Structure 1
Amino acid sequence: MSADGFTRMSIYGINLDLFSSSPIVILKVEDENRYLPIWIGQPEARSILMKIQNQSFSRPLTHDLAVNLVSELGGTMERVTVTELRDSTFFAKIHLQIDGRSVEVDSRPSDALALAVRSGAQIFAADTVIEEAAVEFEEAIEEAPEEEVVDKFKDWMNKVSPDDFK
């Protein structure tokens, strides 16, 4: 656990729930072997993946527009936080700096993460959420061959459902 109740995370990847065909964004606890799976919508998954894969478009997409608006209004996105898990639903906040003051905006985690990958904002999750919903692997996934990592997540995803996070 961290001192302030939040732990730094990074986006490990996006996978597909084989049962529901819903995308899952997988956050990784930095310097640990724990992963936080969050079921998200198709549009948000596409938005996150497009930015991670450095795809660009001639016109701004919705999440690009939101980041541009904050910037043009003199603000910056400092961080996003996954704040709680309630009734199988994750909640998040976007933390902005505008004219020297801190502003918190309620958000779905999927939108907050799509904004974070565009703005460079840091990603955090509440320690209580990590304790409740994170998956831990015995060995470091980064050290395993990619096929083995995919197989481990597929095995885990075959056994898990959103109801497991109640």
Structure 2
Amino acid sequence: MSDELQVQIKGLMPTPSGCGVFLGNGKHGGKIIAIFVDHHVAAAITMFLKGVEKPRPLTHDLITHIFAGLDARLEKVLINDLKNDTYYARLYITQENELGRNVVEIDARPSDSMALALQQHAPIFVKASVWERAEDMAWALEESSGDEDGDEDVEE
């Protein structure tokens, strides 16, 4: 197993306090992990998945506009740690200009990171050691398969 596994969003499941975002990579026995996000970021993720046009820029749109103004782009998202049932992530942002190429690594919530990755068509990775420690939530995704976001891959 390499140090990082590329994953895709396999489904979303509403919860009383937000939404479960199910991630899988199609390998490693069909394991699925779930990251629970608040309602606001869940709404943003859903809008990006469905290509919904918004009348005014939301927070993730603003971040993308700032990146564009700085000639920067999101290269990838890495979910890099799991502590006390809380996931951690890093954004890898590249800026290229006449002075050269600079890569900046920024600590970020996985929820915001996934929303930005969807919006900017950047890949999402999970560190192999995190993947191994994370609970397999395939059963929960299977139980929600009656929902419209069911067990189909939802990321383009």
Q: Compute the TM-score of the two structures, normalised by the length of structure 2.
A: 0.81
- Write the distance in 2 (CA, Å) between the matches of 1:97 and 1:107: 16
Q: Which runs of 5+ in 1 are unaligned?
A: 142-146, 152-166
Q: Which moved more, 1:6-15 or 1:21-30?
A: 21-30
- Write the distance in 1 (CA, Å) between the matches of 2:18 and 2:57: 25
Spell out the pairing of 1:81-160 with structure 2 (5 A cutoff). Answer: 81-99=78-96, 100-135=101-136, 150=145
- Structure 1 stretches of 4+ with a deviation exceeding 2 A read none
Q: Which moved more, 1:126-135 or 1:77-86?
A: 126-135
Q: Deviations over 1:46-84 (max 9, x none)?
A: 000011011111221110110121122101100001000
- Write the distance in 2 (CA, Å) between the matches of 1:36 and 1:71: 32
Q: 1:50 to 1:10 in 2, by over 3 A?
A: same
Tell me the percent identity: 30
Q: In the alignment, which residue of structure 2 is the partner of 1:23?
A: 19
- When the two chains are superposed, the root-mean-square deviation of aligned CA atoms in Å is 2.1
Q: Compute the TM-score of the two structures, normalised by the length of structure 1.
A: 0.77
Spell out the pairing of 1:59-70 with structure 2 (5 A cutoff). Answer: 59-70=56-67
Q: Which moved more, 1:26-35 or 1:83-92?
A: 26-35
Q: Which runs of 5+ in 2 are unaligned?
A: 147-156
Counterpart secondary structure, 1:56: coil
